[in-house]
Amino acid sequence: MRVLGVDPGLTRCGVGVVEGTAGRPLKMIGVGVVRTAADADIAERLLLIERGLEEWLDEHRPDVVAIERVFSQHNVATVMGTAQASAVAMLCAARRGLPVALHTPSEVKAAVTGSGRADKAQVGAMVARLLRLAAPPKPADAADALALAICHIWRAPAQDRLRQAAALQTRLQKGSVR
Amino acid sequence: MRVLGVDPGLTRCGVGVVEGTAGRPLKMIGVGVVRTAADADIAERLLLIERGLEEWLDEHRPDVVAIERVFSQHNVATVMGTAQASAVAMLCAARRGLPVALHTPSEVKAAVTGSGRADKAQVGAMVARLLRLAAPPKPADAADALALAICHIWRAPAQDRLRQAAALQTRLQKGSVR
C-alpha cells in the first residue's frame, strides 16, 4: 500500500509518501512541503496548494490519501486556513477516485510514538527511525505528513475490520443476512 | 458585470447569478442550490459541490465570484464544513482566473436591507424586490447567494477605489511616484 500523507496548512502543507503494509518495514518514497506566501490572496493560495498536490499525486500515484482531521477547538485564526487546505486535499483525492482517510493528531502521535501527547521532536525522531532516515525530516509539517502516512498503513487493517463489521451489522438489521 | 454569488455550505450551497452595475436596475440570471447528502463522505460531498459549481460557472460565465466570508466564531460544528465548501468555491473561481470577492454576512445584509442585523425574511424580501421577483427565492441559502451577488455589484466600485488608493500609497512610499 502506498499512502500520501497530507498535513494541511496554507503556509506550509506537508506531504509525504510511504509504502508498506502493517507488520513489515516501511519505505519512504518522498517528502516535501507545498508553500504559499502569507500575503497572497486566499483563492490564489488554495490554487497553488491544489497544483502542488496534483504534482505529488501525478508523480507518486498513491493508493490512498491520509489527511489530518482538523478540529475547530484549536487556534481560531489558523483553523479556517487548515480546514480550507484540507478541503483542497480531499477534493484532489476524490477527483481521482482515491480513498480519503482522516486521522486525528493524537491518533497519529499514538501510532508512531505510543503516546497521543508526544511532542514534535518525538514524532520527528520516530518517523526518522521507522523510515531509517539519518535525521528527522524538516520542517515539522513534512515529518507530520510522513507520520500520517505511517499511521494510516498501521491503522488501515483495523479500520477495514471495523467497516466490515459495521456493514455486516447493517445487513443483519435489514434481514438480508441470516 | 455578471456576478455569481455563493453562500457556502455542505448540505445546501446557495448559488445565484445577478447582472448589473451600481445605480442601475439589477437582473437575476439564475438561482439554485447545490445539495449533498449529510451522510455521505466529506471528500465525496466536496467533489459534488465542485461539480455543481463548475456547472454554474460553465453555464453562466460570471465575471467575478462573490463568496460569503466565513467566521470561526459561529457554530463550531458547521463552521468547518462552511470553510471547506467556501474553499471549493474559491478554488473553482481561481482555476478559471476569475476574481474572488469575500463579503461578511453583515456587509451583505447591510447592502440589501440597510441593516447589518436584518433577519432572513427581510433579506429574502429585499432580494425579491430588487430583482423584481414574485416571491423571495427558497431556500434561504439561494436568497443569500443572490444577496451576495447584489452586495458585490454595489460595493465593487468603492472597493476598487480603496484598492487603487492603497496601491498609490504603496507606490508613494516606495518613491516610485512623486
Summarised one tens digit per residue, pLDDT across range B57-68 is: 999 999 999 999
Q: How many residues does chain B have?
A: 178
Cβ distance of A91 and B44 shorter than 8 Å: no
Burial track A31-43 (b if 16+ CB lie within 10 A, e otherwise): bbbbbbeeeeebb
Q: Is A97 exposed, middle or buried (0-12, 13-18, 19+ CB in 10 A)?
A: exposed
A72 CB neighbours in chain B (<8 A) are 72, 76-77, 79-80
Residues of B with CB under 8 A from a CB of A: 41-44, 46-47, 50, 70, 72-73, 76-77, 79-80, 83-88, 90-91, 93-95, 100, 102
Q: What residues of A are in the B interface, CB distance below 8 Å? A: 41-44, 46-47, 50, 70, 72-73, 76-77, 79-80, 83-88, 90-91, 93-95, 100, 102
Look at B90 and A50 and tell me if their CB atoms are within 8 Å: no
pLDDT in tens for each of the 178 residues of chain A? 999 999 999 999 999 999 999 889 999 999 999 999 999 999 999 999 999 999 999 999 999 999 999 876 666 667 889 999 999 999 999 999 999 999 999 999 999 999 999 999 999 999 999 999 999 999 999 999 999 999 999 988 777 777 778 777 777 777 765 5
Amino acid identity of residue B160, one-letter, is D
pLDDT at A73: 64
Q: Residue B144 sits in which domain range?
A: 2-174
CATH number assigned to the domain comprising residue A35:
3.30.420.10
With beta carbons less than 8 A apart as the criterion, state whether A109 and A118 touch: yes
> Does the active-site annotation cover A39?
no
A119 is catalytic: no
- Number of domain units in chain B: 1
- Check the annotation: does A7 bind a ligand: yes
Q: In what order do the strands lie in the sheet with B2-7?
A: B27-35, B12-19, B2-7, B64-68, B100-103
